[in-house]
Amino acid sequence: MIIFFGIKKKNHLYDAYVVRECPKCGRETNHQLLLQKRAFTIFFLPLIPLGTKKYLVCTECKTPYKVKKFPSASEISRTPINHMPGEQPME
């Protein structure tokens, strides 16, 4: 009998933005919050949750990078923030 198993990753990209300096492109840009849920699958059914990973995705160069926790709710905007370099993000 052949058993198909693997790891399934499910990404959820939120309409939530925060201004950060991107480690890849070096610019201060909007970053979108990405939550990735991982699960161990048998016959393509997710059976054992393996936890979640949190990422910020640069909206300019599209590079995701892992963060330990998402920014606080007061830092997050529902729409991309118009941000000029050197200017403090609006609250």
* Pairwise CA distance, residues 31 & 33, whole Å: 7
Question: Binding of Zn ion at residue 13 (CB under 5 A)?
Answer: no
In whole angstroms, the minimum distance from the beta carbon of 31 to Zn ion comes to 8
Q: Please identify, among the stretches 4-12, 13-21, 40-48, 61-69, the one whose residues bind Zn ion according to the rule CB under 5 A.
A: 61-69
Indicate whether 47 belongs to the interface with Zn ion (CB under 5 A).
Answer: no
Using rule CB under 5 A, residue 48 touches Zn ion:
no
Confirm or reject binding of residue 62 to Zn ion (CB under 5 A).
no
CB closer to Zn ion, 11 vs 59:
59
